[in-house]
Amino acid sequence: MKQDDPKSANREPPIAAAALPAPGGTLKQYVAYEEASGRSCALSSDGTQAWVVGVGGELRRLPMECTQPPDANLVKSLLGRRGVWMVTYLLAPDESHPANGFDYVCRNPDYRLETLSSHARRDIRRGLRSFNVRLCTWDELVAKGYPAEVDTTVQHGYITPSPRVIREFAQRRRRFPLFEIWGAWKGEELAAWMSVVKVDDWAAIDVCRSRTAALRHCPNNALLYAATRTLLVEEKRKYVSYGLSSLQVEVNDLTMHQYKVRMGYEAVPVWRTVALHWTLGPLLKPRAASLGWEALAKLLPKLPALRRAAGLARLLSGRDSAPLAWAQAEGASDKDSPDST
């Protein structure tokens, strides 16, 4: 293994910028973005918490760091809305409710290469040498971002998306000051791109896409490092969120987990709580139903909704008595990360 050059140990690689950084906004503005997209959402009276659309008729709570129990009447009212089938939120685990997921967060105000492992530094430098990492315009994303979208979909075994997915994604977000796109460029090719959301004093990485052929040169490592350092060190944000451990079945949780931790993110154990619409309980909570969903997901693996339903049923049925046991396994991949949403 090639050792780090001691002469460059204290030098941060330069990051080019072809687009201005997004100024960010408030949680109220994020809710306005959701509403403008025709989605159901809610904002607390003091503006510190929001309930926004997740996947499959889900309303999830933001910010992720909030772990206080919500008002039961509020949850009930949210489940009464048209199109809302479940309400999810995070709580601090305890003896009665052990952790069943990880929340990935980086809070290091001195985030830099020297704070990371030699393995991470090697991959980050490889990515920064191989690609021009910079902020991108929305027009660039529309023109060049679709191939990475397709490759990532294929990596996960899903149905190939239409080109309009990228156009609609950019159209929804370009009008709001909350979002920016980071890209890893190889000449005219956008080898990988990452979407960042900036709200109040925190930020979240919510979409990552990459070309399969580029992964051996570590574009995702370079993008994640550049964006995280900018958000924490230059913009002095309180933390950057990189989402939760996956609920889907047939997902390599360990590889993604070790990648995020290696890149300086903390895996915070949480109790992921799911409140269901009364009609869904009989479909997801019985053990037999859980087994049925899992068999169906294996039969139709290209449908992410089925894989998530199977994972949700496994969690709610209690079939998985040790939902985080996979985090103790050995032998995670040393390759560049798989992409996430």
- In angstroms, the CA 205 to CA 268 distance is 16
- In angstroms, the CA 156 to CA 248 distance is 11
Same domain, 205 and 70: no
Same domain, 306 and 209: no
Asked if residue 313 lies in contact with residue 289, where contact means CB atoms within 8 angstroms, the answer is yes
Same domain, 84 and 195: no
Q: What is the pLDDT of residue 337?
A: 43
Judge whether 308 lies within some domain: yes
Judge whether 172 lies within some domain: yes
Residues of the chain with pLDDT under 70: 1-18, 250-251, 329-341
Rg of the chain in Å (alpha carbons): 20
Give the three-state DSSP class for 4.
Answer: coil
Same domain, 244 and 280: no
Same domain, 185 and 131: yes
Same domain, 143 and 50: no
- In angstroms, the CA 232 to CA 106 distance is 8
Judge whether 132 lies within some domain: yes
Judge whether 202 lies within some domain: yes
- In angstroms, the CA 242 to CA 262 distance is 13
- CATH number for the domain harbouring residue 203: 3.40.630.30
Same domain, 136 and 277: no
Judge whether 99 lies within some domain: no
Judge whether 333 lies within some domain: no
* 273, β-bridge pairs: 89
Same domain, 18 and 41: no
Chain-centre distance of CA 47, in angstroms? 23
Two structure tokens written together for 75? 């949850």
The CA-based diameter of the chain, rounded to the nearest angstrom, is 63
Whether the ω angle into residue 338 lies within 30 degrees of 0, i.e. cis, is no
Same domain, 83 and 224: no
Asked if residue 140 lies in contact with residue 262, where contact means CB atoms within 8 angstroms, the answer is no
Q: Are strands 179-186 and 202-210 parallel, antiparallel or unpaired?
A: unpaired
Whether the ω angle into residue 63 lies within 30 degrees of 0, i.e. cis, is yes
Asked if residue 210 lies in contact with residue 148, where contact means CB atoms within 8 angstroms, the answer is yes
Same domain, 203 and 238: yes
Asked if residue 104 lies in contact with residue 244, where contact means CB atoms within 8 angstroms, the answer is yes
Asked if residue 263 lies in contact with residue 123, where contact means CB atoms within 8 angstroms, the answer is no
pTM comes to 0.88
Domain end (from 233, 267, 301): 267
Asked if residue 149 lies in contact with residue 209, where contact means CB atoms within 8 angstroms, the answer is yes
Asked if residue 183 lies in contact with residue 134, where contact means CB atoms within 8 angstroms, the answer is yes
| Count of structural domains within the chain | 2
Q: Write phi, then psi, for 150 (nearest 5 degrees).
A: -65, -50
Q: What is the pLDDT of residue 19?
A: 84
Residue 69's nearest CA partner among 102, 100, 97 is 97
Judge whether 335 lies within some domain: no
Q: What is the pLDDT of residue 320?
A: 83
Determine the structural domain holding residue 113 and report its residue range: 6-24+104-267
Same domain, 10 and 39: no
Asked if residue 237 lies in contact with residue 108, where contact means CB atoms within 8 angstroms, the answer is no
Domain end (from 220, 251, 267): 267
Domain end (from 250, 267, 284): 267
First-to-final CA distance of the chain: 32
Judge whether 336 lies within some domain: no
The length of the chain, given as a count of residues: 341
Two structure tokens written together for 82? 């048209």
Same domain, 11 and 69: no
Give the three-state DSSP class for 336.
Answer: coil
Residue 100's nearest CA partner among 320, 265, 297 is 320
